[in-house]
Amino acid sequence: MIRAARAEARVFQSWLDYQSALKRAIAPLTAAQLEFRPLSGRRSAGEIAEHIVFGRALHTHRVLGDEATPVKPFLSWDRSGESPRSGRTSWRASR
């Protein structure tokens, strides 16, 4: 049991460390930088941020189930036909 608790604590700490790194990387970017597409047909940094937020929310929801209520609004972000959120919205939402 102690071994499982330690493993769980490491997983949660790793998740928090990754979350902090994402915020440090995205927070200083301007709206123009977040919307810039390096090539036509490629994702902008803001869209990539949105994709990361969605993926982390989906993973959290799958692991925690109903206890993951705060992430439920992010689970609809992959629906086709919806316009992407701005990168600024994505990184603020992931806080």
Q: Hey, which of 7-16, 18-27, 81-90 has the most confident mean pLDDT?
A: 18-27
Based on the number of CB atoms within 10 Å of its own CB, is 86 exposed (0-12), middle (13-18) or buried (19 or more)?
A: middle
The pTM is what? Answer: 0.64
Per-residue pLDDT reduced to its tens digit, 42-67: 999 988 888 888 888 888 878 877 77
Domain ranges of the chain: 2-93
* CA 31 and chain centroid, separation: 17
Question: Above pLDDT 70, what percent of the chain?
Answer: 79
Q: Which two tokens stand for residue 26?
A: 């995205």
